Structure 1
Amino acid sequence: MVDVSPFEVCQVADAGDISVSPFSIDDAVREIEARADDLTSDGARLVTIGGDHTIALPLLRSAAKKHGPLAVVHFDAHLDTWQTYFDAPVTHGTPFRRAAEEGLIDMTGSLHVGIRGPLYGKGDLSDDAQLGFSIIAAHEVERHGLAAAIDRLHERIGDRPTYVSVDIDVLDPAHAPGTGTPEAGGLTSREMLEFIRAFREHHVVGADLVEVAPAYDHAQITGIAAAHVMYELITAMASTH
């Protein structure tokens, strides 16, 4: 255990909601990026609660302006690197492809964690590799152990500026039923928290947590897990403030 009191060593503030257009994804993405630029203009780092995973794209655009290409560690059941989703280029299924195409991602230091479930085709994996991502699949955590997976994470991102993006569906539906695209065979809450604690050794410049759907949540199981993940993200960032 590491003794870190994040609210003692850092000023942590709730910046409120980002108002965005409910009618245009393109306008909403621009508005999120502009507000993120404003909130971090004095050197602050941003932890954002979604929303769906589309928000990762404008947040990465904002963070990369200040830090250059980022090591992106993406916790999710799905790759989110499709070319389009229902023929749309900017959706919750495409943010990391757009980010890679725009040069926002360090192609030597980025990683998906928790990937599982069916693919649309074999090309999903080959395309993803060309975008610079390595993968720790959910079954590999079970097969090789959590410690080995965390060692791979440390080796992959090194001392790069790092952005952490968490889709709550990285957790098994037993631990996070309140999400829109659940997949069986995911991480446990305990495993997820240990992954996030590993970032205390790294330079995390921004983070998001997305896809919590309260309407589908039972007994606030998902909300409780998400709140703990957010606390550990803030603690990791405070550890290297």
Structure 2
Amino acid sequence: MGHEANETQAGSAVEAGIKASTGVIVATVGMFNPVAGVALGALKEYVDAPILQLIERERARREERAARALQAGSEEAQRSLDRLVHTIETSPDLLALMSETVQAAMETPLAEKIVALGRCLGRGVRDEATVDAERLRVRGLAAIEAPEVKLLEVLAKETHPTPEGWYQERFPGWRQPEILAELPGFAKVLDAAIARVAAEGIVRDDGLGRVAVSEDDPVEMWVLTDFGSDCLSLLRAVSASGR
């Protein structure tokens, strides 16, 4: 019984430490965010109670997401949360990585993405030579939400066979008609989804310079870049680990 009580107390202490550290970090990052950093006391004069409760729930959700990302970072770096935070405090580059990580984690409901973001932070702490690369990964992951995940999963599949007479057996990339056959609900938003991930270097058009063989033959051939495959693998690794 005594051993179990000690374990419970230790677990509570760790949880309290995570919450305390997260509270400070969220407050700092929140200065740049209208919801995370809002001062409820200043709003009470102008906003109805139900709205205040909604804002408070959102603040709590953001804080919980930040805590999960920091915990994932601590596990990836193989050091306690206190040591993780202390290491981050000593490096402007790590502080920048942490800020971007926490901001992205607070804004997403995707559990896999939160853990993947935290692991980017943890790798940066473990090996500071990778900080720049991890910041780029964090920015790539920040652009990926549920709709973009669906798009990337399609682009990761084997492309469709080409019509008879083509010099290739399969298209070199995904054309919009084939993408929409997989994602029919994207008919009016596919351009936006592609533009979002293309802006982060996650996908590219492999059909540049291609000449259409007919008026209804799309020349675009969308493929995952190496960076895009890397970002998708980070999310898949979390799912595979059951986190």
Fold in common (TM above 0.5): no
Between the two structures, name the one with larger relative contact order (CA 8 Å, sep ≥ 6): 1
Q: Which has the larger helix fraction?
A: 2
Q: Report the TM-score, using the length of structure 2 for normalisation.
A: 0.24
Q: Report the TM-score, using the length of structure 1 for normalisation.
A: 0.24
Q: Which has the larger strand fraction?
A: 1
